[in-house]
Amino acid sequence: MTYFVTRATGFIGRHLVAALLRRDGDIHVLVRASSRHRLDDLVGRWGRPDRITPVVGDLCLPRLGLPEEQVEQLRDTVQHFFHLAAVYDLTADAARNELLNVEGTRHAVELANALHARHLHHVSSVAVAGLYRGRFTEEMLEAGQPLPGPYHRTKYESERLVRQLAQVPLRVYRPAIVVGHSRTGEMDKVDGPYHLFEMIRRSRDLLPAQLPLVLPDLGQTNLVPVDYVAAALDHIAHQPDLDGLTFHLVNPQPQPGTWVFNQFAQAAGAATARATVPPLLLPPGLLLRAGTLPGIRQARDNVLAELGIPAELLGVLGFPARFSSLRTGR
């Protein structure tokens, strides 16, 4: 068994590689020349340097920058090609999202086709659902959903692209919001719900923990620990007769945003929310739309910056869609 993994040094990728190392086979991992030191550190952590082969390349180049002789060497040997490389950052601008999410996917598919990979596993995101309201199934993609930002749009476009260009058997995976390891809590960066931590820390320092807070209704969110996502990827990828299908790597029971906030607040010893402002009194997206009014955007962004919360987070605090995962559950 031979594997090829893009972004093996990323948060999901490093846990996926650890899972693959529990199976037989060699693992080729794409790495930029400037990131070799990160890969070397991880190889020491994984503990099987004899089974890890670094492949120096670049998402921005056709076929990920691999020379023809290297393509020939790997052709017809790769059973599983995992494409995880993408921008996972709500604050990244449109150009960076386009370059890495869309063009990077194009180049990865080009390489998978050239290698005649037995299976191409594309890691997408539930962000493709955008602001769709209602039940979003694993069979759906183009549903007329509004796409509120560059990350949503480019994840949607990259999934469409991989379906159009793949000439090898394809499986698509859509994780929800990936958070730290379920046992250790390990996380690699501040993103998504972690942006709330500074606000929670400040409330802990300023307010008694017994003081009940009132928060706007944050709607339903969907958090999954990284070890679940990696284990699900590893398991589903090795099951027979699933090519052409999509899998939602989500929590079957979405979590209320306020409940999530309270879990973090309790862990920090901070005040928790005992009540929420109903949506009728605070329409969803009100703060986001307020940022378009003259004179208000700067004040809003100043307050958010002081709390360490990017303005982009306001548009994705909750999911209007409920993600079905019946196929993944089976």
> Tell me, what's the pLDDT at 282?
44
> Tell me, what's the pLDDT at 285?
45
> Tokens representing 120?
């191409």
Residue 213 burial (CB < 10 Å; 0-12/13-18/19+)?
A: middle
> Tell me, what's the pLDDT at 255?
92
> Tell me, what's the pLDDT at 124?
97
Q: Where are the domains of the chain?
A: 2-179+222-254+324-329, 192-221+255-319
> Tokens representing 151?
């990350």
Comparing CA positions, the residue from 99, 115, 5, 112 lying closest to residue 60 is: 99
Collapsed DSSP state (helix, strand, coil) of residue 248: strand
- State the Cα torsion 227-232-235-237 to the nearest 10°: -120
> Tell me, what's the pLDDT at 16?
97
> Tell me, what's the pLDDT at 280?
45
> Tell me, what's the pLDDT at 281?
44
Alpha helix stretches (DSSP H) within 150-190: 150-165
- How many residues are there in the chain? 330
From 2.60.120.10, 3.40.50.720, 3.40.50.300, 3.90.226.10, which CATH number describes the 2-179+222-254+324-329 domain?
3.40.50.720
HSE-CB at 316 with a 13 A cutoff on CA atoms is 29
Collapsed DSSP state (helix, strand, coil) of residue 296: coil
Tally Cβ neighbours within 10 Å of residue 35: 14
> Tell me, what's the pLDDT at 53?
95
Residue labelled with tokens 């509004």: 146
Mean pLDDT for each 10-residue chunk of the chain (330 residues)? 94 96 96 88 90 94 96 97 84 80 95 98 96 96 92 94 97 96 89 82 87 81 96 98 98 91 92 75 46 54 62 68 96
51 phi and psi, to 5 degrees? Answer: -110, 0
Residue 282 burial (CB < 10 Å; 0-12/13-18/19+)?
A: middle
Tally Cβ neighbours within 10 Å of residue 59: 22
Residues 6+ apart with CB under 8 A from 224: 175, 176, 177, 178, 179, 249, 250, 251
DSSP 299-326: HHHHHHHHHT--GGGGGGSS-SEEE--H
> Tell me, what's the pLDDT at 1?
86
> Tell me, what's the pLDDT at 137?
97
